[in-house]
Structure 1
Amino acid sequence: MSTMKAIVIEKFGEPDVLTVKDVPKPEPKPGFVLIQVKAFGVNHAEMHMRKGEWAESMPISGIECVGVVEACLGNEFTPGTKVAALMGGLGRAINGSYAQYTLAPVNNVTKIDVDLPWETLAAIPESFATAWTCLFRNLELKLGQTLLIRGATSALGQAALKLAVNAGAKVSATSRNESRFPMLKAMGAAEVILEQQDLAQRLHQANHPKFDTVLNLVGNSVLLETLTVIRRGGRMCLAGFLGGLAPVADFNPLAQMASGVHFSFFGSFVFGTPEFPVSDVPLEDVVRDVAEGRLSVKPARVFAFEEIREAHHLMEKSQAGGKMVVVV
């Protein structure tokens, strides 16, 4: 069996536990696509996996990648095809994309035959597939609606902001760091608000109109107050945990939920299941919009394979400033 280089987690801990090693190259098998990884995005989920805070994790992390098909026994993809892969147990139940090669379930792979640099393509799959599903499936965002994104400077938040502005929504974005306000404005945010746990109170005191939709990426820590800034018939989607993984204590919908407000959750780990096929997300259209200049996508930082520890250190300190990618 031939070998490959991979970034391996041999024990849970800080970024220093990430080690580049020679490991066996995966063999093709039915129902999977063997991909030569060209680049991959770095995600908060992988930080929690590295620390042992996730329910499942594998020695080789990584929940997404872009690359070239090496083999596909079912012939769903021709060798040499450029593809993106995301979720489907990558990094959780099967070894993931922090490697020169990975095996991804065929239902979690999509063709991306567009001429863009690998580092640009790597900034798209997980963030934009998740953002698109949150906005246009869970929130049913429409032209002219107002949208509040809590945690907009995250990679997912920036992807959602760009997609929503492109769809004609009026977006209010939050950030804990005022130095990032100009960046969010440049992306098309109509207003930028300081992210704090008294946000709802400040909006009410300012007589700010309630929102049609809210994408909550801060998480459980602001869930209850966020429900109060949504109009009757409006929607909130919870899709991130930037404020930590602690659950909501003593949540009583009867006493604490606003009447007539719709609340849903989306976790990208369901991509590839029968109800959430990756093909449901128009990723090829997103990639084409990027290639033709209708959508601006640029990674915040690009790292070499051996610099993965530095990427995780920046993620720990919330200093990434957007999507970080690693070129293999």
Structure 2
Amino acid sequence: MRAAVCTGPGGPEVLEIREVPVPPVRAGWSLVRIHAAGLNRSELRTRQGHSPNVRFPRVLGIECVGVVVASTDPAVPEGATVAAVMGDMGREYDGGYAEYALLPNAVLMPVRTALSWEVFAALPESYLTAQGALDALGVGPGPGRLLIRGGTSSVGMAAASLAAAYGVETAATTRRPARADALTAVGVDHVLVDDGGPLAGPVREVWPGGPDHVLDLVGARTAVDSLGLVRRGGTVCVAGSLSGWSIADFQPVAMIPSGTRLTAFHSGDLAGAVDALRRVVRLVESGVCRPNLDRVFALDDIAAAHRYMEDDGAVGKVVVVP
């Protein structure tokens, strides 16, 4: 089979297309023919050498969709359409940048859908992360005010789509004014241009009392600032790491306003979220939510796909097809 093998830490050029053996099936694992795989920024960091547990060479890819061709689990028989997300895919064992993947049965989520493979592949990681973050924030159907920082990321656009479906009033940030239309298209009510200056002024113009919730997908660099934007007693959820993982000199008592809540959601909790994924698929099939698919690359062009993501070219999800 053909696979994009990451030969070692480095730039996109370390991703090489190779012929490798189809992995043999073993107990507790099933073989999936991959039809498409969503790309994620965490894979850029793994390729760059920032995932300390990853040993090279490795086939990257923390999510994929396809068809089971050899099963060891009656719940996911041969011929079943499945999505697979996380569970150490592409890190501890080979992942989605290939024609076939041997995957633990625990990460396989059977889903019936008429969506194209490319559209289906755009949903699992981004929408399940968005749903998990909204759940952590306590965002659900009914009135509310949500600020999304990092709005044109795939998770940001998915969160905006879900919030719009809930009837929540939403603001989202982008560093590029030209991307405002992409945000309004997914249901964002207020687009805020983040030029690196204080965001408090633009936020207070929209909501003088502040938003009820802040979904911070930028991460470490903006998390403390987000705590000052949310209304007193509101909640900030950090669910992204576009600016890294660590907050320097974090002092919780001094930096978290009294009564305000700080939480997080990690996409490592996604495996097995089949009911949530089926709901998302239904929402996209019915047109209530958008797939937010930005661009599709062939497996042969995986290095170009990584460069495109690294250059912040994407507005939404990037997908690769073998």
Given that 1:108 and 1:278 are in contact with CA atoms closer than 8 Å, whether structure 2 keeps it comes out as no
Does residue 170 of structure 2 align to residue 175 of structure 1? no
CA distance in 2, matches of 1:7, 1:61: 8
The CA RMSD measured in Å over matched residues stands at 1.6
Judge which range, 139-148 or 194-203, deviates more: 194-203
Q: Contact conserved, 2:292 with 2:316, CA < 8 A, in 1?
A: no
1:322 corresponding residue in structure 2? 316
Structure 1 residue 32: Cα displacement: 2.1
Q: Deviations over 1:58-86 (max 9, x none)?
A: 51100000000112213221100111000
Query: Residues 127 and 155 of structure 2 are in contact (CA less than 8 Å); yes or no, is this contact kept in structure 1?
Result: yes
Q: What displacement does 1:101 show? A: 0.8
C-alpha displacement of 1:146: 0.5
Partner of 1:56: 53
Q: Kindly indicate whether residue 132 of structure 2 is the aligned counterpart of residue 133 of structure 1.
A: yes
Count of residues in Structure 1 that have an aligned counterpart in Structure 2: 318
The equivalent residue for 1:212 is: 212
Give me the identity figure in percent: 37
The SS at the match of 1:300 is strand
Deviation at residue 208 of structure 1 after TM alignment: 3.0
**TM value normalised by structure 1:** 0.93
Distance 2:186 2:23 in 1: 40
SS of the residue aligned with 2:8?
A: coil
The alignment partner of 1:121 has SS state of helix
Is 1:72–1:79's contact at 8 Å kept on the other side of the alignment? yes
Alpha-carbon shift at residue 253 of structure 1 (Å) = 0.8
Kept after mapping to 1: 8 A contact 2:192/2:202 = no
SS in structure 2 of the partner of residue 225 of structure 1? helix
Indicate whether 1:309 and 2:289 are aligned: no
Change (3 A) 1:298 1:222: closer
Q: Which residue of 2 aligns with 1:30?
A: 27
What does residue 273 of structure 2 align with?
278
Matched residue of 2:231: which SS? strand
Q: Which amino acid aligns with 2:11?
A: E
CA distance in 1, matches of 2:36, 2:203: 44
SS at match of 2:84: strand
Aligned match for 2:14, one of 1, 14, 17: 17
CA contact (8 A) 1:200 1:228 kept: no
Tell me the secondary structure at the aligned position of residue 24 of structure 1: coil
SS at match of 2:215: strand
Q: What TM-score results when the alignment is normalised by the length of structure 2?
A: 0.94
Asked if the contact 1:151–1:195 (Cα under 8 Å) also holds between the matched residues in 2, the reply is no
Q: Aligned with 2:232: secondary structure?
A: strand
2:281 aligned to 270, 287, 298, which one?
Answer: 287
Gapped regions of structure 1 (runs ≥ 5): none
Read off the aligned partner of 1:234 and give its amino acid letter: G
- 2 CA distance for matches of 1:222 and 1:298? 24
Structure 2 CA distance, aligned partners of 1:54 and 1:209? 40
> Counterparts of 1:9-158 in structure 2 under 5 Å?
9-58=6-55, 59-135=58-134, 137-142=135-140, 143-158=142-157
Q: Distance in 2 between matches of 1:294 and 1:200?
A: 30
Tell me the secondary structure at the aligned position of residue 98 of structure 2.
coil
Report SS of the residue matched to 2:200: helix
Q: Amino acid of the residue matched to residue 285 of structure 1?
A: R
How far residue 197 of structure 1 moved from its aligned partner, in angstroms, is: 4.2
